[in-house]
Amino acid sequence: MKLVFATNNKHKLQEVRDIVGDRVEVLSLADINCYDDIPETADTLQGNALIKARHIYEKYGLDCFADDTGLEVEALDGSPGVYSARYAGDECDSEANMRKLLENLTGKTNRNAQFRTVIALIVKGEEMLFNGIVKGAIATEKRGDSGFGYDPIFIPEGRRESFAQMSSEMKNSMSHRFRATQQLGDYLKENYD
Ligand code: IMP
């Protein structure tokens, strides 16, 4: 089976390939010569994942999947959520995003949060969604310098250290993306092996 993953992120591609194994050939956008800037205009993670997957399916007629991730903070009614990458304005300015989040949580005792990844899969026109969640809390200040994005201020449940203080192997073994990808892998195994 061949599936296009609507990304060119090498780390994500490797993670997915490791989980789904040899039975699925996972192609990147570059592998199908797709260089489109697919607008992520939905106001939910699920909506954005579907926009990207539908774009590939409709334009190329290829079975495919796409993901979208956000950090959902309980005391902020689920923000920054779908807007996690551009919470402070500029796309992917992690330092500014973390600063804004810590400021918005000043004085709040409820620091519960979760990372959530949604994967939208389309096979022969049929759509399926998978949700991977890791629960945790927002630290009061940044800790550690591994990882990316909000890792220095996210402490997963049952741990004392932030994602940015963990080895990448440790973080990846419990991450939202890993959990969503595992569900995708299990579904493909059950249905297409
Ligand atoms: P994307 O959908 O994978 O591009 O993720 C959207 C945004 O969520 C990123 O720009 C990061 O700010 C944040 N994010 C996603 N995954 C992680 C993670 O594993 N650690 C920290 N931040 C993340």
* pLDDT, tens only, 83-132: 999 999 977 799 999 999 999 999 999 999 999 999 999 999 999 999 99
| Gap from CA of 149 to ligand 1 centroid (Å) | 6
- 68 a catalytic residue: yes
The reported pTM is: 0.95
Angle at 55 between CA 52 and CA 57, to 5 degrees: 110
| Gap from CA of 193 to ligand 1 centroid (Å) | 31
Parallel/antiparallel/unpaired status of strands 126-138 and 154-156: antiparallel
The residue to mutate among 40, 52, 69, having the most atoms of ligand 1 within 8 angstroms of its beta carbon, is 69
pLDDT tens readout for residues 31-89: 999 999 998 999 999 999 999 999 999 999 999 999 999 999 999 999 999 999 999 99
Q: CA 37, CA 35: separation in Å to the nearest integer?
A: 7
- Quick check: helix, strand or coil at residue 9? coil
Atom of ligand 1 nearest to the CA of 94: 12
